[in-house]
Structure 1
Amino acid sequence: MTNLAHDISKPRRTFWTMERRDAAAGYIFIAPQLMGIVLFVLIPLGLVFWYSLHEWNVLANTFNFRGLGNYEQLLRDPALPQVLAASAIFSAGLVVFNMSLALLLAVLLDQKLRGIVVFRTLFFSPVVVSLVAWTIVWGFLLQNNGGINGLLQMVGIEGPNWLRHPTTAMISVIVVQVFKNVGLNMILFLAALQGVPKELYEAARVDGAPRFKQFRRITLPMISPTILLTSIITIVGSLQVFAQIAVLTQGGPGMSTTVLVYYLYQQAFQFHFFGYGATLSILLFLIVAVLTFAQWQMRRRLVFYEN
């Protein structure tokens, strides 16, 4: 009787405690995102690595194990240095011009002027335009007898064949991409500028600081987190460029505009070397991961809030 009374008076432990219910609710909420990451990131990444160890010929219906043969071919590929150089030039040009122009536009458009919203919409509108349509239009403008050279002839200047010379072809592709996406970085910079406390500028003006010093000492440090974000987004996007190259230059003239993604496409889908194409995609993944990690590690020096 004593043991029975003790068992009755002892509170029962329920399995669904408050902590477990909260944990289960959290897992349910993140389950779709986790499934997306597993299905569309981790599994494809694992398959790409598996394909890079094989030589897969779709036309001959063969799938042969090569081990590290594709990676050895990568080290011996005579075209790879030129491809990496073109990728570096494109990325450096895009990052410098895109971010500089975006910051300049954001500063100019961060003014309380009549009709300023119209100009903000005008500069942002290319972002929502179809990438292929945008590139095709620019392809017509940059032809030897296109609109750009037509305007130059009106002022007595004979323009070059922009897409058929190695230097001007790379510059043209960079400019097309800058004008396409500069509005996105502009909006991010504009939002960051509007978040800077106005009291800091008022105090600087009282102390007699000129505008350039205010920009260097107040504006840049306060928007440094946005600068870091936009630099990561821009660099990653520049390494993944494909449509502009495919429509405008097809990697030419020669291989002057053959960036890594387009070279990957050629190897896998034009020459049907799917195993080697998968190896190039692994290289691209490593480059993006290393650059992103390096930028993130530099945040303590570059970002004001991390100091």
Structure 2
Amino acid sequence: MSRLREQPTTAGRARRWWTARRRDQLAGYLFITPQILGTALFVIAPLVMVAWYSLHEWNVLAGSFEFVGDANYRQLLDDPGLPGVLAATGVFSLGLVVLNLSLALWLAIMLNRRFAGTTVFRTVFFSPVVVSLVAWTIVWGFLLQNDGGINGLLSVIGVDGPNWLRGEATAMGAVVVVQVFKNVGLNMVLFLAALQGVPRELYEAASIDGASPWRQFRRITVPLISPTILLTSIITIVGSLQVFAQIDVLTQGGPGTSTTVLVYYLYQQAFDFHHFGYGSTLAMLLFVIVLVLTIIQWRMRRRWVFHEN
């Protein structure tokens, strides 16, 4: 009798423990397990390995792997070329972010007016996003040569164009413009989706109250699409700090070091000069810069992002 009573009691306890809430939690954990495993294997583990390599001097050619402690980080502080690299990185990132976001928002506003041929214009501006990055950069490399297509068009109107990729005053600007045209379509689509979610009634009410288009833009458009502005700014800033292929194909960091950004400098140290330990240290510096900028943007969102304040 005691055994017969114990079995229903145990089964009842199991049923009470295995509630609908716990089943939902298990289902949720199962759904996010692939993402957790992917993040652990391809993000966290490589980051830990890079941090470990930064404490060593690794010479692949000689087959040596020597622990040097903080020597690479001290070399980072004493590197005479690093300030110029950081300055070039800052100029590139600032130019890219300002031009990309401004042009993308302007294009989205124009396309949101629903004039004839809107679909064609959307396709034209978005198509570079899906084009191979290397192919896009190679084509622009030919166009920006001294005798390339850009200077050919300028010569038609009597203007003698410079050697865009070999002049210190024009190389950085040329690289920024190439990157802006490559990715502006993605931010344009995001802004366009946000603009289409703004109620038309707000603009009609503002017009009745006598608000100018600029005031409507500042008081209605910008606050309501501010979450999208935050998203695109984070994506664009992080992307600008990771640029490599454009620099490698167009300028190879030149002329001089005027377009040597941090990622390209990292590549040079690790794979051209075989300083893998110091290259890993530069990678850690890049990680810290990206992390700090992302945290700053995320913290400041409460001050200007609608629904967050």
Into which bin does the TM-score normalised by the smaller protein fall?
Answer: over 0.9
Q: Which amino acid aligns with 1:153?
A: S
Helix, strand or coil for the counterpart of 1:114? coil
Helix, strand or coil for the counterpart of 1:253? coil
Q: Distance in 2 between matches of 1:103 and 1:272?
A: 43
Cα displacement (A) at 1:127: 0.5
Q: Distance in 1 between matches of 2:193 and 2:4?
A: 68
Helix, strand or coil for the counterpart of 1:172? helix
1:213-246 superposed Cα distances (whole Å, 9 cap, x missing partner): 1111111111111111111000000000000000
Cα displacement (A) at 1:21: 2.9
1:140-193 superposed Cα distances (whole Å, 9 cap, x missing partner): 010011111111111111011111111200000000000000000000000000
Partner of residue 233, structure 1: 235
Q: What is the aligned counterpart of 2:68 among 66, 72, 77?
A: 66
Q: What is the aligned counterpart of 2:259 among 240, 257, 262?
A: 257
Q: Distance in 1 between matches of 2:4 and 2:156?
A: 104
Partner of residue 13, structure 1: 13
After superposition, residues 274-293 of structure 1 pair within 5 angstroms as 274-293=276-295
Q: Distance in 1 between matches of 2:7 and 2:128?
A: 73
1:33-86 superposed Cα distances (whole Å, 9 cap, x missing partner): 110011001110000000000011111110000000000000000000000000
Cα displacement (A) at 1:8: 6.9
Q: Distance in 2 between matches of 1:8 and 1:64?
A: 63
Q: Distance in 2 between matches of 1:6 and 1:146?
A: 90
Helix, strand or coil for the counterpart of 1:163? coil
Structure 2, gaps ≥5 residues long: none
Q: Which amino acid aligns with 1:106?
A: A
Helix, strand or coil for the counterpart of 2:274? coil
Normalising by structure 2, report the TM-score: 0.96
Count of aligned residue pairs for this structure pair: 306
Q: What is the aligned counterpart of 1:120 among 111, 119, 122?
A: 122
- Identity across matched positions, percent: 70
Q: Distance in 2 between matches of 1:228 and 1:192?
A: 12
1:96 is aligned to 2:98: yes
Partner of residue 206, structure 1: 208
Cα displacement (A) at 1:272: 0.5
Q: Distance in 2 between matches of 1:243 and 1:4?
A: 73
Question: Considering only aligned residues, what root-mean-square deviation do their CA atoms show, in Å?
Answer: 1.5
Q: Distance in 1 between matches of 2:63 and 2:287?
A: 27
CA shift in 2, pair 1:162/1:5, >3 Å: closer
Q: What is the aligned counterpart of 2:89 among 77, 84, 87?
A: 87
Q: What is the aligned counterpart of 2:107 among 105, 108, 112?
A: 105
Cα displacement (A) at 1:303: 0.5
Normalising by structure 1, report the TM-score: 0.96
Helix, strand or coil for the counterpart of 2:170? helix
Q: Distance in 1 between matches of 2:7 and 2:173?
A: 83
Q: Distance in 2 between matches of 1:259 and 1:8?
A: 70
Helix, strand or coil for the counterpart of 2:169? helix
Helix, strand or coil for the counterpart of 1:112? coil
Helix, strand or coil for the counterpart of 1:64? strand
